[in-house]
Amino acid sequence: MPNSFTPQAAGDLNYLKSLNRSTILSTVRRNPGLSRADIALQTGLTKATVGGVVQILLEQGWLREGELHARGGGRPGRALHLDDAHHCMLGAEVGVKGLRLVACNLLGEILASLHREEPPTTPEATARRLAELLGELRDDPAIAGRSCLGLGVAVPGPVSPQAPILRLAPNLGWVDIDFLALLRAECRGPEGIWLLENEANAAAFGEFYFFDGAPPESIAYISAGSGIGCGVVSGDHFPVIPRGRQGLVGEIGHTVLQPGGALCHCGNRGCAETLVSGWALREALKIDSRASLSASVSARGDEAEVQAALARAGDALGLLLLNLHHTLNPSMLIVGGSLMRLGARLIGPALSYFDAHQNDLLRQAQAVPVKVVEDSTFTAARGAAAQVMARAAVAL
């Protein structure tokens, strides 16, 4: 399936060159330490092609050479790694409760970051404030002298598949916002790739792209914060994010779990967000929107009302995990977002429900792993930066 991270056929050598560069970079990213001969063996490319492309990538600061590979005979080859010293990518998340920004190297390591608990107001004011913070981030000494590949911005709602337009952010009240245009009008640079992405998709992409070790065939990332969303990523050298005709793939927070239930911010009734979301828990427990949800819940942890609300939310989250398992069947489920700060009283019931029912359909004990990201403060911003890197690799 062609996507933003796949070279598009142009009928000439440019397409093949882009494809070869992206394939070699992906191979080294997923298998650091390979030699040129190893890459040729794994990709099926000729040694001459690999040698030529690697030389260009070394000169452009995408790859670096490491130790010599010991061989039984013949000339030893040098290990190749992504170069973590020359480039950086910027990522930002416009969250319902604040703004988060990161600068990452090619390994996905965060070099510099900013986090401001400043709930967005209007799109224009938010773009203005984000531009100020981007200027502050770009002045950080940790990224001085690096070539910036671009900027990715994650937003709390579906993005149109046809254009970088935020279609709806129900928890902000934003509709059809060209946020990148607003941001460009407020800041100078960076040069390079600019992209807009749904925050759950961005988080999923980052978890997949920078996966520690051999990545699974596919993952589904559930972002449980002020709202609930899901991003799905699969693929090999060119990761694919399914989006749907209107960009609604993964909007699990607005799947109906209770027909005729409580009114959701989207206007429907009984959505998953009315059962498990930051705003639903605040309403149920009468916690002020300016107060810390996790601190408030912790202070009232012995109250029966709090325990019941967390158990209900945990069961609903477990039901969403099971529904994703049965509808998308990813190789791994990852749960993150600010609700993970509520700890075992929320995630415990969710995992218990999923563990008890995930094999009901096939009657086989084949557990799908569930990873819990306890601190996902910068997960979406880092994922947006990862998407910049993936597109830049194609555009080389």
Q: How does DSSP classify residue 271?
A: B
Looking at residue 274, the DSSP 8-state letter turns out to be: G
The yes-or-no verdict on residue 2 having pLDDT over 60 is no
pLDDT tens digits, one per residue of 279-317? 999 999 999 988 999 999 999 999 999 999 999 999 999
How far apart are the C-alpha atoms of 264 and 257, rounded to whole Å?
12
Tell me what the pLDDT averaged over the chain comes to: 93
pLDDT of residue 54: 96
DSSP assigned state of 263: B
Helix axes 36-43, 13-30, angle to 10 degrees: 110
Q: Which amino acid makes up residue 110?
A: I
pTM of the model: 0.92
Lowest-confidence region among 151-165, 219-233, 259-273, 356-370: 356-370
Higher per-residue pLDDT: 374 or 396: 374
List the alpha helices (DSSP H) in 100-193.
123-138, 179-184
**What pLDDT, on a 0 to 100 scale, did the predictor assign at position 11?**
53
Give the rounded percent of residues in the chain with a pLDDT score beyond 90: 86
Looking at the chain, the domain(s) classified CATH 1.10.10.10 span 13-82
The residues with which 43 forms a beta bridge, in sequence order, are none
Q: Please state which of the four CATH numbers 1.10.3720.10, 1.10.150.120, 1.10.287.130, 1.10.10.10 is assigned to the domain occupying 13-82.
A: 1.10.10.10
| pLDDT of amino acid 283 | 95
Residues 6+ apart with CB under 8 A from 221: 200, 203, 204, 207, 230, 231, 232, 233, 334, 335, 336
**Per residue in 3-44, pLDDT tens?**
555 555 545 678 888 889 999 999 999 999 999 999 999 999
Q: How confident is the model at residue 236 (pLDDT cuts 50, 70, 90)?
A: confident
The answer on pLDDT for 1 being more than 50 is: no
Query: Sign (positive/negative) of CA torsion 341, 329, 332, 44?
Result: negative
* Averaged pLDDT for residues 150-161: 96
60 by Cβ neighbours in 10 Å (0-12 / 13-18 / 19+) ranks as middle
pLDDT of residue 394: 87
Answer whether CATH 3.30.420.40 is correct for domain 87-205+379-395. yes
What's the mean pLDDT in 354-366?
85
**211-372 architecture in CATH?**
2-Layer Sandwich (3.30)
| Each residue's pLDDT tens digit, 198-213 | 999 999 999 999 998 8
Q: Give span(s): CATH 3.30.420.40, the chain.
A: 87-205+379-395, 211-372
Mean pLDDT of 119-141: 97
Is 139 in a helix, a strand, or coil? coil
Interval 91-113 mean pLDDT: 97
Partnered with residue 148 across adjacent β-strands are 88
